[in-house]
A and B are shown apart, each in its own frame.
Chain A
Amino acid sequence: MSEPYDTRVTRRDTVTRLAAAGLAAGAVGAGALFFHDRRRVEASARLIPDWRVGASDQHPAVAAANGPDPAANVRRAMAPLGGMERFVRRGESVLIKPNVGWDRIPEQAANTDPDVVAELVRLCRAAGAARVVVTDISCNDPRRCFARSGISAAAAAAGAEVIESHRLAMVPAALTGLAAGIEVVEELLKADRVINVPVVKHHSLSRVTLGMKNWYGVLGTGRNRLHQSIDRSIAELGAAFRPTLTVVDATRVLLRNGPQGGSLNDVKAVNAVAAGTDPVLCDAWGAAQLGHVPESLPFIELAQQRGLGRADLKAVRQV
């Protein structure tokens, strides 16, 4: 090798060069084998758990309470259902999903009443919940929505962990009936129990927005395409998300210019709260607070047909 014109190759040289080439080839081959099909990428979507507790004949499906104090209404509506102890066990983690969609104050009735949310947090805490999360995906700037709705302060004071939308992690989840690849709040999939707390409001497309529509608030990218067949989408969400409890806030209801209102002229004080395990009946009760016949609303009809519940207002226990 050292002599440029010497064409003879020594034995040692042959061996080392063959060995080096072999090593290089071996390394490439071993590397290829090592990485070959090492990780299969699949379009994986998380399943949405069922958060319901066992059905019971002793308790009504929905109970409603009227009165000037929203917190007392919550307690009184919960009593015939068997109290929060029936739904939340010691050490469980609970997620409460109010409507915190808008940069509005409580008097404007665009968001769930903060006292209703805070009372639910207290009841969950008293029932022994280890962790109570209050969250929603706001339409306006979440910092403003959570602050001005009064929900951040009220829920945190009652012992909840309030997570504003911009801190939420999202994961793709399986919603079979809807467009593929919708994102869902990850925190929701971690919770043992979920309480859906909508506020009763007018909506220009579905006419009312209540509990099943409230699930729009846990969806990420793509949610603004669900409006294109809104009634079917709402029923689909009702089938996909099976909450432990639905608590409908009709402390103040929004009659017009929903779902965010703005003018106090559009707000009516009803001073009522309903709680229950039948999401369709809860929505039917809420629709009745706005003067609608529940069966006249296509999404309630669709939900009934799918067997998600029964919109029979006579089954609501008034306390």
Chain B
Amino acid sequence: MSWTRRLRVLYQGFFLALFLWLLARLAAGDPRDLPFTAYFHANPLAAVGVTGAAGTLPGALIWAVALILVTIVFGRVFCGWICPLGTLQHLSSRLLSPRSRRESLKVNRYRRWYALKTYILAALLAAALAGSLQTGLLDPLSLLARGLASGLWPMLPGGKPVPGGWLAAALLLSILIASRFIPRLFCRAFCPMGALLGIFARFALFRIRRSGEACNSCTLCTFACQGADEPLGEHRVSECHVCLNCTDSCADGVISYRFLAPAAEAPARPDLSRRYLVGSTLGALAVAPLLQAAGGGRGSARAELIRPPGALAENEFLQRCIKCSLCQQACPTNALHPAIGRAGVEGFWTPVLIPRRGWCEFACTRCGEVCPTGAIAELTTARKTGYDGAPPVRIGTAFVDQGRCLPWAMSTPCIVCEEMCPTSPKAIWLDEAIEPGRDGRSVRLQRPRVDPELCVGCGICENRCPVGELAAIRVTSVGESRDPLNRMIAATPS
């Protein structure tokens, strides 16, 4: 093995291990200020998608420019050297595959349908321009974080269940298994990030060069070609992952990776069909409004759509959420879960708070800290709790179900919701009443009532309510700070 290949393996191992470590530390609630969002900030697909959808490039996503510049200089090194999903596919194609040399030669040839990823990219960007950001569905970083932390880790001992997590796991495992049959099939044919970087890689200053005179066309260079980019034929620089397997395997030293290597002649067949490109763009432009109309939280608020504290208004939120699931992994009480159907079709993997699974910890601001795109604004504890004097950040309001509540309906004392209420003074107060019992003796009861002026909708009352499956106090999204129209009582004049 040459030093270039060793170096690449070292990079791949390092970036995969770092990705897994950061994700695991995040899910374990590591209190240190680790760079949990680093990979996602340098994510060009997210940056382009959010910019297209929201018309602004928020905050640290500007780091994506650095990765684009690296691509313009070195080609798609992100795919071959950094991307943790790429590395996992690289591994699975090596470990699971019983391929012979002859088969290797066959599966590593370019196929015309690998252009599919560019049509996918075109469709996703067109949908983003129409206001529906769906890049996260196939973004390799989002997909891997979801598949691991929401899909697979709940199966480990002590793991907490994530409703719908199996879908994320199924997608990730399908990608890894597909790589057994065609190496890096996802990278080659489906990955919108690869397609995007491929556009910039056309300008690559460093690229693969084969000096034709000395080449005896032995095809050794093609055996382990990760990108199926034809180092032996008309090299396709926008497909090349810069894995450098070809330079390493060339017995005659004919292939090299060089600065300002003469560009190969344009391939005989075009990479893209204009008809498909226009078709996928127009199709996405037509489908995006359909998605937006498909019963999400846009336009009208939905009771069960409780967003994390600091989440922007639904329209703005959906223009920024890249479905990376970091907020869901960061939530210390396991309250944030994929919305699945609660936020409409376009909000599929976006976060919602499910109080029966966890509550919003009063002084905790972790979800906003790790949101890479600012879909959840970063809050300070003083701001969130209202200790700074301004109204606190509300995510909903609690309602007592008087037909199920023990003091209200069963003449049984209970104050658990009031006890748990974190605001000061408490939003849940106790209304004392003497009620006749069935046997004629009267019972003194403290019946919980909610003060909507004080309730922040954190949901700890619903979480701790002793009434079995369906709690006797439940939070809905009304009163949430992010939506000035989702209100119930006109504010008291002050």
Report the separation of the CA atoms of residues A224 and B462 in the bound assembly, to the nearest whole angstrom. Answer: 12
A103 touches B31 (CB 8 A): no
Chain A 202-226 interface residues, beta-carbon cutoff 8 Å to B: 203-205, 224-225
| B420 contacts A by Cβ under 8 Å | yes
Report the separation of the CA atoms of residues A252 and B5 in the bound assembly, to the nearest whole angstrom. Answer: 65
Q: Which residues of B contact A229 (CB under 8 A)?
A: 413
| B406 contacts A by Cβ under 8 Å | yes
Min CB gap B169→A, angstroms: 24
A262 touches B422 (CB 8 A): yes
| A266 contacts B by Cβ under 8 Å | yes
A225 touches B361 (CB 8 A): no
The total number of A-B Cβ pairs within 8 Å is 67
A204 touches B422 (CB 8 A): no
| A263 contacts B by Cβ under 8 Å | yes
A262 touches B424 (CB 8 A): yes
| A176 contacts B by Cβ under 8 Å | no
Q: Which residues of B contact A259 (CB under 8 A)?
A: 419
Chain B 332-391 interface residues, beta-carbon cutoff 8 Å to A: 332-333, 361-364
Q: Which residues of B contact A144 (CB under 8 A)?
A: 332, 361, 363-364
Contact indicator per residue, chain B 412-456, by CB within 8 Å of chain A (1) or not (0)? 111110111011111000100000000000000010000000000
| B464 contacts A by Cβ under 8 Å | yes
Given A224-B464, A225-B466, A230-B413, verify A204-B363 contact (CB < 8 Å). no
Q: Which residues of A contact B424 (CB under 8 A)?
A: 257, 261-263, 266
Report the separation of the CA atoms of residues A115 and B333 in the bound assembly, to the nearest whole angstrom. Answer: 28
B361 touches A140 (CB 8 A): yes
A204 touches B418 (CB 8 A): yes
Which of B31, B363, B416, B425 meets A227, CB within 8 Å? Answer: B416
| B29 contacts A by Cβ under 8 Å | yes
B406 touches A228 (CB 8 A): yes
| A139 contacts B by Cβ under 8 Å | yes
| A59 contacts B by Cβ under 8 Å | no
Given A103-B363, A140-B362, A262-B423, verify A227-B29 contact (CB < 8 Å). no
| A46 contacts B by Cβ under 8 Å | no
B446 touches A204 (CB 8 A): yes
Which of B420, B465, B466 meets A139, CB within 8 Å? Answer: B420
Chain B: CB-nearest residue to A204: B415
Report the separation of the CA atoms of residues A230 and B444 in the bound assembly, to the nearest whole angstrom. Answer: 13
Q: Which residues of A contact B333 (CB under 8 A)?
A: 141
A205 touches B464 (CB 8 A): no
Given A141-B332, A262-B423, A262-B424, verify A224-B416 contact (CB < 8 Å). yes
Q: Which residues of B contact A266 (CB under 8 A)?
A: 424
Contact indicator per residue, chain B 462-488, by CB within 8 Å of chain A (1) or not (0)? 001110000000000000000000000
Judged by DSSP, the binding face of B is loop
Chain A 246-283 interface residues, beta-carbon cutoff 8 Å to B: 257, 259-263, 266
Report the separation of the CA atoms of residues A254 and B8 in the bound assembly, to the nearest whole angstrom. Answer: 61
Q: Which residues of B contact A168 (CB under 8 A)?
A: none
A205 touches B466 (CB 8 A): no
Min CB gap B231→A, angstroms: 52
Chain A: CB-nearest residue to B410: A228
Which of A139, A147, A227 meets B413, CB within 8 Å? Answer: A227
Which of A103, A205, A224 meets B361, CB within 8 Å? Answer: A103
B31 touches A203 (CB 8 A): no
Chain B: CB-nearest residue to A229: B413
Min CB gap A92→B, angstroms: 30
- Number of A positions contacting B (CB below 8 A): 24
Report the separation of the CA atoms of residues A225 and B418 in the bound assembly, to the nearest whole angstrom. Answer: 14
Min CB gap A166→B, angstroms: 9
Contact indicator per residue, chain B 222-235, by CB within 8 Å of chain A (1) or not (0)? 00000000000000
Q: Which residues of B contact A230 (CB under 8 A)?
A: 413
| A292 contacts B by Cβ under 8 Å | no
A205 touches B362 (CB 8 A): no
B422 touches A260 (CB 8 A): yes
Report the separation of the CA atoms of residues A259 and B426 in the bound assembly, to the nearest whole angstrom. Answer: 11
Report the separation of the CA atoms of residues A139 and B463 in the bound assembly, to the nearest whole angstrom. Answer: 11
Report the separation of the CA atoms of residues A141 and B358 in the bound assembly, to the nearest whole angstrom. Answer: 10
Report the separation of the CA atoms of residues A229 and B406 in the bound assembly, to the nearest whole angstrom. Answer: 12
Chain A: CB-nearest residue to B416: A224
Min CB gap A230→B, angstroms: 7
Chain A: CB-nearest residue to B332: A141
Q: Which residues of A contact B426 (CB under 8 A)?
A: 257
Min CB gap A137→B, angstroms: 12
Report the separation of the CA atoms of residues A304 and B362 in the bound assembly, to the nearest whole angstrom. Answer: 39
| A190 contacts B by Cβ under 8 Å | no
Q: Which residues of B contact A306 (CB under 8 A)?
A: none
| A90 contacts B by Cβ under 8 Å | no
Min CB gap A255→B, angstroms: 13
Which of A143, A148, A263 meets B29, CB within 8 Å? Answer: A143
Q: Which residues of B contact A140 (CB under 8 A)?
A: 361-362, 422, 460
Report the separation of the CA atoms of residues A261 and B424 in the bound assembly, to the nearest whole angstrom. Answer: 7
Contact indicator per residue, chain A 39-80, by CB within 8 Å of chain B (1) or not (0)? 000000000000000000000000000000000000000000
Report the separation of the CA atoms of residues A140 and B333 in the bound assembly, to the nearest whole angstrom. Answer: 8
Chain A: CB-nearest residue to B428: A204
Min CB gap B412→A, angstroms: 5
Report the separation of the CA atoms of residues A144 and B412 in the bound assembly, to the nearest whole angstrom. Answer: 33
Report the separation of the CA atoms of residues A260 and B464 in the bound assembly, to the nearest whole angstrom. Answer: 15
Chain A: CB-nearest residue to B407: A228
Q: Which residues of B contact A257 (CB under 8 A)?
A: 424-426
Q: Which residues of A contact B446 (CB under 8 A)?
A: 204-205
Chain B: CB-nearest residue to A205: B415
Chain B: CB-nearest residue to A256: B425
A203 touches B419 (CB 8 A): yes
Q: Which residues of B contact A203 (CB under 8 A)?
A: 419
Given A204-B430, A257-B425, verify A143-B332 contact (CB < 8 Å). yes
Given A141-B332, A143-B31, verify A228-B363 contact (CB < 8 Å). no
Contact indicator per residue, chain B 269-288, by CB within 8 Å of chain A (1) or not (0)? 00000000000000000000
Min CB gap A205→B, angstroms: 4
A263 touches B412 (CB 8 A): no
A205 touches B363 (CB 8 A): no
Q: Which residues of A contact B412 (CB under 8 A)?
A: 228
Q: Which residues of B contact A204 (CB under 8 A)?
A: 415, 418-419, 430, 446
Report the separation of the CA atoms of residues A139 and B333 in the bound assembly, to the nearest whole angstrom. Answer: 11
Q: Which residues of B contact A227 (CB under 8 A)?
A: 413-416, 419, 466
Report the separation of the CA atoms of residues A203 and B419 in the bound assembly, to the nearest whole angstrom. Answer: 8
Chain B: CB-nearest residue to A225: B466
Min CB gap A269→B, angstroms: 18
A-B contact pairs, 7 of them (CB 8 A): A103-B422, A140-B361, A141-B361, A143-B332, A147-B31, A227-B413, A260-B422
The 8 closest A-B pairs by CB, nearest first: A262-B424, A141-B332, A263-B424, A224-B466, A205-B415, A225-B466, A224-B416, A141-B361
- Add 13 more A-B contacts to A141-B333, A141-B361, A204-B430 (CB < 8 A): A103-B362, A140-B460, A141-B364, A143-B31, A143-B332, A147-B31, A204-B419, A225-B466, A227-B466, A228-B412, A228-B413, A257-B425, A260-B420
Residues of B within 8 A of A (CB): 29, 31, 332-333, 361-364, 406, 412-416, 418-420, 422-426, 430, 446, 460, 464-466
